[in-house]
Amino acid sequence: MNLVRRTPQILHEDHQRTIEVIEALDRLLAQAKRKPADTSDAQTSKTLSLAASAISQEVSAHFTFEETELFPRLEEAGDQAIGAHLRAEHAAILPLGQQVADLSKQALETGFTASSWQSYRNAAAELVERMFAHIQKEEMALLPMLDDLLDAETDMALAERYAGTV
């Protein structure tokens, strides 16, 4: 992606890291299928650890920054639709992400039972699907809009502010 401004570039880099986590989660689901994943396996443990930390911390900070700093700027520039749409997606994704993060932590502590794996699989599969679609929308629409909207001074101030939140 060819972005000029730093703030959209930082968000793009966040998206790339999130995609890595979501892809790892997707691989875990595909490999284990209906049989509970073995939490003693190093790769499984790594994936669960990534999911537990990245989703509950980084994704939450990313969404909050967009909602408090970026969407209002887009609205002031006359585009209410994208912020409203992405806020609605955030409202659906964040609790689901927190659920997957919590279930990941729990699995790291106690392993999966047949029942807990089924719950985890369902929540994680939905999160994977929603996150991929959400990131694609932000990459194709939000980031280019921000690249055009932000002036150099505002961009630097936002980039510094965001760096202090993650």
Whole-model pTM? 0.92
CA distance 73 to 147: 12
Q: Which residues of the chain have pLDDT under 50?
A: none
Instruction: Say how far apart CA 6 and CA 27 lie, in whole Å.
Output: 32
d(CA 61, CA 16): 15
Note the pLDDT of residue 57. Answer: 80
3-state secondary structure of 157: helix
Residue 12 is predicted with a pLDDT of 96
CA angle 41, 132, 104 (to 5 degrees): 30
pLDDT for 163: 87
Q: How far is CA 95 from the centre of its chain?
A: 12
Topology given in CATH for the domain delimited by 6-163: Four Helix Bundle (Hemerythrin (Met), subunit A) (1.20.120)
pLDDT in tens, 53-62: 988 788 889 9
- pLDDT at position 166 is 59
Output the pLDDT for position 2. 83
Helix or strand (DSSP H, E) at 36: none
